[in-house]
A and B are shown apart, each in its own frame.
Chain A
Amino acid sequence: MKRVFTAIPYLWLLGLFLVPFLIVLKISLSDAAIAIPPYMPTLDLSEGWAGLTSFLSELDMENFVFLTEDDLYWKAYLSSLKIAVLSTLLTLAVGLPIAYGMARAPEDWRPTLMMLVILPFWTSFLIRVYAWMGILSNEGLLNQLLISIGLISDPLVILNTNTAVYIGIVYTYLPFMILPIYASLERMDPSLLEAAEDLGCSRLTAFWIVTLPLARPGVIAGCFLVFIPAMGEFVIPSLLGGSSTLMIGKVLWEEFFSNRDWPVAGAVAIILLLILIVPIVLFQRQQAKAEAGH
């Protein structure tokens, strides 16, 4: 019985991750074709062993080579990486003070504050992104406000720029940053700060040398939770970003739906996965280390 339960997560991963991954990998090694499905070869088991060998012999790395030849792809990867890293840092800059404030708030307020952080999830993600379009556009709420209080005379162009993408990512992923940091700060014994003060620290130094190191596991977890989805983000750059916003998620979408080049789209996805596996492995290691530490 116990074996069945321990097998569930493995079966889950096998069926919903490993098998689809192998399918995508196979597609990425195929050639585009005007057919259904739009790639070849397809495995024909009726021909037996000969069919399998001829199938395997037709697979090649052509699409991966192609990705290195056209500079669109590596530029898109780099640009995605830049946007993901920068927006992760921005989210951290916004999320850390909020998490800190929540952890220092009176105990009976904390569930409410936590609720407020999670509350945006109750509205559809798409609606919230559309709302940002309404706020950031030239005739949007933000520009109307700034013009009405006389801060600016001409509307700021924010929508359809990278700035709007950063705003969108920071807004959307903020809870994923706040919650793990809050969890690690809330566990902290408040007498640690009093002890630091008692031993000669000012409150500010105590924050740097006691609070922050203790919040580190939460900060790292939050950064990964923001960085990983931001890297492959598609909806936010396509709705809020402009024509100059280059992100790999968008490239992937275009290869798949506009060009109907499944093999190249597959290769793009495989490379993206490899790029993300590095931080995921680092993250896992850090978690394991934190576990061993406690």
Chain B
Amino acid sequence: MSAEFAPWDEPDAVPLIKVENVTKRFGSFTAIDHIDIDIFPREFFALLGPSGCGKTTLMRMLAGFETPSEGRITIGGDDMAGVAPNKRPVNMMFQSYALFPHLSLWDNIAFGLKREGMEKDKIAARVEEMLKLVQLGKFAKRKPHQISGGQRQRVALARSLAKAPKLLLLDEPLGALDKKLRQETQFELMDIQERTGTTFVIVTHDQEEAMTVASRVAVMDHGKLIQVDTPQKIYEEPNSVYVADFIGDVNLVEGRATAVGEAAEFVWGEGQPSLVGMPGGGVQADRAATFAIRPEKIAISRDEPEARNRVHGKIIDIGYLGNLSTYHVQLPTGAMLTCEVGNRSRVARRDFTWEDEVWLSWTETAGMVLPS
């Protein structure tokens, strides 16, 4: 790609999906609370959040299985109010895959095309194309129960892509696969998304999965959108403690913001030096704040370093994870900080051990100061 794919930053870009001020209530329970999202053509958009955050409800409203209590959803400029699921330019890949058990893989993939009234030889050509796309040509005659879980997942994908929808919805598409297969399949999904040029909206509770596949991630909690951004921004510049904590590992320190400008100064703990980080989430001076710093951004050393942010502590615990080691360091205030160090050399040459007094340090732009 020559220019970076970022239609959300282009003022003239026309979104494929517009979710405008949508609320969904089930009785007295509000599943979706006044949400606005624009999703652009060819995007791989992830709805991420814990179970019960409303991500599945939002997806089901895009598919047409639920109707918004308030607000408006447009797809390709058409208002979707009152449009039944079978009339929408949208297909969905179900979490359970929902393959028809009485039909062969071939007939499963052809199902939507037959409903369209497509000519027979065109259907055959399209089904072959889809089977090739997901590398299941040999299995066309089998029934769903005669293939493995990973293969079923691919059939479900092929079936939902067969009608060449403008928008493909994927409900926890990899949830039923084991970890190794899931990682392989993530890249396969991205590859297929790019090749077909379809807009994908994926629902997942797995932050790693969302970060890997998505062009943008929407982090949801209790029916609200907390942050919508690229994976990198979500990780590096979370707008709230919730997002920082939900995505990856993070050290959180409670304190106060004292000065907020280009950078933010943060005081905490008695006798501890102040810290400096990037301000985020509209943090204000002289208010309670939380300092968020990722473990891998912290350096560990025996001698006092030059860095602006540095604290002194004692190693309480060492976790050896193979590719990296985590050090749990207790500060004089009792706070624990975790730092991660890549294991470039063998364990035998490790520099630190339990009970060692060490310095932890990080740069002024490594941490975030967020409103508590």
A213 on interface, CB distance cutoff 8 Å: yes
**Are A200 and B86 in touch, CB under 8 angstroms?**
yes
Q: How far is the CB of B88 from chain A (nearest CB, A)?
A: 8
Q: Are B65 and A201 in contact (CB under 8 A)?
A: no
The smallest C-beta distance from A191 to any residue of chain B, in angstroms, reads 4
Residues of B within 8 A of A (CB-CB), count:
24
Is residue B96 contacting chain A, with contact meaning CB distance below 8 A? Answer: yes
CA distance A266 to B100 in the complex (A): 49
A197 and B100 in contact, given A205-B115, A293-B143, A294-B145 (Cβ under 8 angstroms): no
CA–CA, A214 and B143, complex, Å: 14
Chain A to chain B contacts (Cβ below 8 Å), 8 pairs: A192-B100, A194-B98, A195-B92, A195-B100, A197-B85, A199-B91, A214-B101, A216-B102
Could you tell me if B65 and A194 are in contact, using CB atoms closer than 8 angstroms?
yes
In the complex, whether B139 has a CB less than 8 A from a CB of chain A is no
Given contacts A194-B92, A293-B145, 12 further A-B contacts (CB under 8 A): A191-B96, A194-B63, A197-B85, A198-B63, A198-B85, A198-B86, A198-B92, A198-B160, A199-B115, A199-B159, A200-B163, A213-B102
Among A191, A213, A294, point to the contact of B98 (Cβ < 8 A). Answer: A191
Q: Which residue of chain A lies nearest to B88 when distances are taken between CB atoms in the complex? A: A198
User: Which residue of chain B is the closest to A191 with respect to CB atoms?
Assistant: B98
Cβ of A202 under 8 Å from chain B: yes
Bound Cα distance from A293 to B146, whole angstroms: 9
| B270: Cβ under 8 A from any A Cβ | no
A183 at the B interface (CB under 8 A) = no
- A70 is an interface residue with CB less than 8 A from chain B: no
Is B111 on the interface with A (CB-CB < 8 A)? yes
- CB contacts (< 8 Å) of A205 on chain B: these are 115
Q: Does A196 make an interface contact (CB < 8 A)?
A: yes
B121 at the interface (CB under 8 A from A): no
CB distance from A84 to the nearest CB of B (A): 28
B181 at the interface (CB under 8 A from A): no
Within 59-111 of B, Cβ neighbours of A (below 8 Å) are at 63, 65, 84-86, 90-92, 94-96, 98, 100-102, 111
Name the CB-closest residue of B to A210.
B100
Q: Does B305 contact A (CB under 8 A)?
A: no
Task: Please give the distance in Å from B93's CB to the nearest CB on chain A.
Answer: 9
Residues of B within 8 A of A (CB): 63, 65, 84-86, 90-92, 94-96, 98, 100-102, 111-112, 115-116, 143, 145, 159-160, 163
- A residues near B111, Cβ cutoff 8 Å: 196, 199
User: A188-238: which residues lie under 8 A (CB-CB) from chain B?
Assistant: 189, 191-192, 194-202, 205, 210, 213-214, 216
B86: chain A residues at CB < 8 Å are 197-202
Residues of B within 8 A of A214 (CB): 101-102
Q: Please name the 6 residue pairs, one residue from A and one from B, whose CB atoms are nearest each other, closest first.
A: A200-B115, A199-B112, A195-B98, A191-B98, A213-B102, A197-B85
List residues of chain B with CB within 8 A of the CB of A202.
Answer: 86
* Partner-B contacts on A (CB < 8 A): 189, 191-192, 194-202, 205, 210, 213-214, 216, 293-294
CA distance A216 to B101 in the complex (A): 12
Residues from chain A with Cβ under 8 Å of B143 in the complex: 293
- Which B residue's beta carbon lies closest to that of A205? B115
A199 and B163: CB pair below 8 A?
Answer: yes
A94 to B94, CA, bound (A): 33
CA distance A189 to B86 in the complex (A): 19
Give the distance in Å from the alpha carbon of A293 to the alpha carbon of B65 in the complex: 31
- Evaluate contact between B94 and A194: CB separation under 8 angstroms: yes
Q: Are A195 and B101 in contact (CB under 8 A)?
A: no
A203 CB to nearest chain B CB (Å): 9
Q: Let me know if B94 and A197 touch, CB within 8 A.
A: no
B115 A201 Cβ-Cβ under 8 A: yes
Q: Which residues of B contact A189 (CB under 8 A)?
A: 96, 98
The distance from the CB of A216 to the nearest CB of chain B, in whole angstroms, is 8
| Cβ contacts under 8 Å, B65 to chain A | 194
Residues of B within 8 A of A213 (CB): 102
In the assembled complex, the CB of B101 is this many whole angstroms from the nearest CB of chain A, namely: 7
- For A194, what are the chain B residues with a Cβ–Cβ distance below 8 Å? 63, 65, 85, 92, 94, 98
Across the two chains, which residue of chain B brings its CB closest to A188? B101
Distance between Cα atoms of A214 and B100 in the complex (Å): 9
Give the distance in Å from the alpha carbon of A35 to the alpha carbon of B86 in the complex: 76
**What A residues does B102 contact at CB under 8 A?**
213-214, 216
Contacts of B159 in A (CB 8 A): 199
**Cβ-defined partner of A195 (8 Å) among B94, B116, B145:** B94
A226–B93 alpha-carbon span in the complex (Å): 40
Residues of chain B within 8 A of A199, CB atoms compared: 86, 91, 111-112, 115, 159, 163
| Residue in A closest to B84 when the chains form the complex, CB atoms | A197
A195 contact set on B, CB distance < 8 A: 92, 94, 98, 100
Given known A-B contacts A198-B92, A199-B159, A200-B112, A192 and B98 have beta carbons under 8 A apart:
yes
A189–B95 alpha-carbon span in the complex (Å): 11
In angstroms, Cα B112 to Cα A69, docked, is 59
What's the least CB distance linking B19 to chain A, in Å? Answer: 19
Please give the distance in Å from A184's CB to the nearest CB on chain B. 11
A216 contacts which chain B residues (CB < 8 A)?
102
Contacts of B94 in A (CB 8 A): 191, 194-195
Tell me the complex Cα distance, A213–B101, Å.
Answer: 10
Residues of A within 8 A of B100 (CB): 192, 195-196, 210
B163 proximity list for chain A (CB < 8 A): 199-200
Q: With CB as the reference atom, state the residue of chain B lying closest to A200.
A: B115
B303: min CB distance to chain A, Å:
61
